[in-house]
């Protein structure tokens, strides 16, 4: 068994309880208190215990039993029937492609016999002035998360240093995003690049001076040159890095993104009318404005935007405002495990990305479900798409999606033709037969597959 520590930025939050930060279960929300003896709880409510009540032994924090009893009584004072699982609160998890990748990656490592710990940051909680615990540990879908407190202005460097110190017992470090390698990489290590992320005219890179760009790119090169391996999810990453600094691409291995073609598969249509899907986070850079514009221009079709905003109140406002402004547009959100049914209930998939894209998981998932997909030529999308063969490609800076949606909506034969080729293409990116086999060449399994 190898101990593998992963530094990532998973979308979640830490709630407040009795003026103390508390880490809630990230799963189904059935929360109670069963064990206050150790900071590394396997389920339910985790209490952020002050440092003076902790003991550090062999890399593990233990809680003073007397304090545990006091904390338990405190919780009983606020909640009746504390020993019975109940819904108190839950972290807000924002499901994007990177989050799915992280959980699938961790689960595959566990199945291969490795011990996995994910390190991430948590920032100040609104309405709470501290003090904050340095680490809060919780569990999500069987994976242990260590949340490290991070002030907003500390930057990636502080997160990197904290991780390098806390993961001292790891046999292998995985920097889940290449930029998290700054300023130091502790080998043996693997970094992952999920795509070129500075290619948008709306991001700060465009406004940098020549000197600032040079300094910034030199920092980014740390993530591509210092780890033992750098895994890129598309070929665009390798090509761009080679063009910027020839030779810096030598440690980059391309393992294209993936889809579970058994979970994501075509299903016969059993609804009336045309449904168009946008399965992405609701942001400008992901093309939400292009999608909503097409919905406004084509009121005869049903448009479904399935993606999360940053906060729950923003999500609620977005879902309510979308239908008021555009009656045929429905904004919703789903757990990542519910996405196969989402794709199987629509006619057309859209991935209108404007920038900062690898080989999109929502693209591959829609293709695996036999959907014709309207997309762009941004980033790594070209690794899986050919215009008018298995997808419909448009330029997001010169066109909107209206004409493409109308063409596919009015032509059932073309939808079926593109969808069939899309399904065939997706088999070349199968999660188990292709993607994880390639990963095992870098991180061999510790148990017999």
Q: Report pLDDT digits (tens) over 262-290.
A: 999 999 999 999 999 999 877 788 898 89
pLDDT value for 281: 79
Low-confidence ranges of the chain (pLDDT < 70): 1, 10-95, 125-134, 308-315, 447-449
Q: Could you give the 3-state DSSP secondary structure of residue 421? A: helix
pLDDT value for 279: 94
pLDDT value for 136: 79
Per-position b or e across 3-40, b if 16+ CB within 10 A of its CB: ebbbbbbbbbbbeebeebbbbbbbbeeebbbeebeebb
pLDDT value for 27: 29
The Cα–Cα gap between 67 and 58 comes to 21
Residue with tokens 């009318």: 273
Tokens of 31: 């929360």
pLDDT value for 396: 92
The Cα–Cα gap between 123 and 90 comes to 17
pLDDT value for 312: 65
Q: Where are the domains of the chain?
A: 275-428
Q: Report pLDDT digits (tens) over 85-131.
A: 323 334 556 667 888 899 999 999 999 999 999 998 877 765 566 66
Contact between 216 and 206 (Cβ < 8 Å): no
Pick the CATH number of 275-428 from 3.40.50.2000, 3.40.50.10140, 3.50.50.60, 3.40.50.300: 3.40.50.2000
pLDDT value for 284: 82
What burial class does residue 43 get, using C-beta atoms within 10 Å of its C-beta: 0-12 exposed, 13-18 middle, 19+ buried?
middle
The DSSP-derived string for 56-113 is EETTEEEE-HHHHHHHHHHHHHHSSSTTS-B----------HHHHHHHHHHHHHHHTT
pLDDT value for 16: 30
The Cα–Cα gap between 360 and 422 comes to 14
Contact between 380 and 195 (Cβ < 8 Å): yes
pLDDT value for 140: 84
The Cα–Cα gap between 113 and 55 comes to 29
pLDDT value for 387: 96
Contact between 223 and 231 (Cβ < 8 Å): no
Q: Report pLDDT digits (tens) over 136-151.
A: 788 888 999 888 887 7
pLDDT value for 128: 61
Closest CA to 307 of 327, 324, 325, 322: 322
Whole-number average pLDDT of the chain: 80
pLDDT value for 61: 36
Closest CA to 322 of 336, 338, 309, 340: 309
Contact between 293 and 270 (Cβ < 8 Å): no
pLDDT value for 99: 84
SS3 letters for 165-227? HHCCCCCEEEECCHHHHCCCCCCCEEEEECCCCCCCCCCHHHHCCHHHHHHHHHHHHHHHHCC
pLDDT value for 336: 83
Tokens of 195: 């795509």
């Amino acid at each position: 068994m190898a101990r593998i520590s992963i530094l990532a930025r998973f979308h979640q939050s830490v709630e407040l309880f009795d003026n103390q930060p508390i880490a809630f279960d990230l799963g189904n929300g059935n929360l109670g208190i069963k064990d206050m003896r150790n900071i590394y709880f396997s389920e339910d409510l985790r209490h952020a215990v002050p440092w003076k009540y902790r003991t550090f032994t062999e890399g593990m924090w233990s809680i003073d039993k007397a304090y545990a009893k006091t904390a338990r009584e405190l919780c009983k004072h606020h909640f009746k029937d504390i020993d019975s699982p109940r819904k108190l609160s839950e972290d807000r998890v924002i499901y994007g492609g990177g989050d799915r990748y992280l959980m699938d990656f961790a689960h595959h490592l566990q199945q291969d016999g490795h011990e996995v710990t994910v390190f991430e940051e948590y920032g100040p909680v609104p309405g709470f002035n501290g003090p904050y615990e340095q680490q809060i540990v919780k569990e999500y879908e069987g994976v242990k998360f260590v949340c490290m407190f991070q002030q907003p202005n500390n930057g990636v460097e502080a997160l990197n240093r904290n991780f390098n110190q806390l993961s001292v017992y790891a046999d292998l470090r995985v920097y889940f995003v290449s930029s998290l390698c700054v300023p130091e990489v502790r080998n043996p290590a693997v970094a992952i690049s999920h795509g070129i992320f500075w290619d948008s005219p709306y991001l700060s890179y465009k406004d940098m001076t020549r000197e600032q760009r040079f300094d910034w790119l030199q920092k980014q090169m740390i993530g591509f040159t210092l780890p033992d391996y750098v895994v890129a999810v598309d070929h665009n990453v390798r090509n761009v890095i080679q063009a910027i600094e020839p030779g810096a691409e030598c440690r980059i291995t391309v393992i294209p993104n993936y889809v579970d073609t058994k979970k994501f598969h075509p299903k016969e249509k059993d609804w009336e009318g045309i449904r168009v899907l946008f399965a992405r986070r609701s942001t400008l850079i992901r093309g939400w404005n292009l999608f909503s514009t097409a919905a406004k221009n084509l009121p005869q079709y049903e448009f479904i935007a399935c993606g999360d905003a940053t906060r729950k109140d923003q999500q609620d406002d977005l879902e309510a405002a979308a239908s008021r402004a555009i009656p045929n547009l429905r904004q919703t959100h789903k757990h990542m495990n519910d996405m196969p049914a989402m794709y199987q209930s629509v006619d057309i998939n859209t991935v209108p990305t404007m920038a900062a894209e690898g080989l999109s998981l929502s693209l591959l998932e829609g293709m695996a479900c036999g959907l014709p997909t309207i997309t762009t030529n941004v980033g790594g999308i070209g690794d899986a798409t050919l215009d008018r063969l298995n997808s419909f490609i448009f330029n997001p800076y010169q066109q909107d999606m209206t004409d493409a949606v109308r063409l596919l909506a009015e032509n059932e034969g073309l939808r079926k033709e593109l969808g069939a080729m899309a399904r065939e293409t997706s088999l070349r990116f199968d999660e188990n037969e292709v993607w994880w086999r390639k990963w095992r060449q870098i991180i061999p399994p510790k148990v017999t597959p």
